[in-house]
Structure 1
Amino acid sequence: MVRNLRAIALVAGLSGLLPTPALSQALDVPVIEHADEDFDTCALGRVTGLKADGDRFLAVRSGPGSDYTKLDELHNGDKVWLFDQKGKWIGVVYGVEEVSCSPVVKDRPVPHEGKKGWVHGNWIEILAG
């Protein structure tokens, strides 16, 4: 049905009037694993400090800033793997127990399984790394 509505809207020149479904985990800015031959490429962190009388979640975004699309929500106690940083924003992988943080010789988009996105660093506590 939705496909038919989109086809009709395209023909009628109205495609901009139909809502476009958000693609899950579609990043506008990829999370990068930065090369270092001597040190691990990530750290383990935990979401902390979210107030009960506030939003009660930390938005995961498609890029490092509040203007980027919200992809998901994290809550106090959720663990995240920290890979990248742009200002106060941290590129994370989450929803997996373990990832390899072994040194790499060339920068690359994070290849690990799990969900990826950007979160504001104010609510991340580094546990290890």
Structure 2
Amino acid sequence: MIMSSRSTIMAVAFGCAFVVQPANAQSLDVPVMEYASDDLDTCALGEVFGLKSDGDGFLAVRSGPGSDFAKLDEIHNGDRVWLFEQRGDWIGILYGANEVSCSPIKKDRIVPYPGKKGWVHQKWIAVIAG
């Protein structure tokens, strides 16, 4: 955690402790996992498609694999996302990330790459690579 020296001094001076979270922090109820595989890539690249302009116009990104989970964000037709795991009709995604490696890994892990993570319904995602 990085705090400005002024914030650090104020916290020390008043004997308080606090945690600073980024304004865009997301809270997932179900983390998006990257699963180990001997020779297979761990993710694929996808794109949002098929959203009707006369409908909501967005795909809800949720905190877990289901419409019962909180909506975290909205993505739109043409937005690209990295696809990691699938649970039923729901796909765990990463988006807004610059660099992602889909190379095989040796041990399962929570998706470690910076960017936004969440869950979307597969109906609106087309796999374009992977």
| Range of TM-score over shorter length | 0.7 to 0.9
- For 1:53, the aligned partner's letter is D
Query: Aligned partners of 1:85 and 1:74: how far apart in 2?
Result: 18
**TM-score (norm. length: structure 1):** 0.80
Residue 106 of structure 1 deviates from its aligned partner by 1.1
- For 2:28, the aligned partner's letter is L
RMSD: 1.0
- For 1:61, the aligned partner's letter is R
Unaligned runs of 5+ in 1: 1-22
Q: Deviations over 1:92-127 (max 9, x none)?
A: 000123311110111110001110000000000000
Identical pairs, percent: 69
- For 2:73, the aligned partner's letter is D
Residue 86 of structure 1 deviates from its aligned partner by 0.2
Query: Aligned partners of 2:38 and 2:53: how far apart in 1?
Result: 42
Residue 66 (structure 1) aligns with: 67
- Partner SS state of residue 97, structure 2: coil
- For 2:88, the aligned partner's letter is G
- For 1:65, the aligned partner's letter is G
Contact 1:33 1:41 in 2 (8 A): yes
Unaligned runs of 5+ in 2: 1-23
**TM-score (norm. length: structure 2):** 0.80
- For 2:90, the aligned partner's letter is W
Report matched runs for 1:1-129 at 5 Å. Answer: 24-129=25-130
Query: Larger deviation: 89-98 or 79-88?
Result: 89-98
Moved segments of 4+, more than 2 Å = none
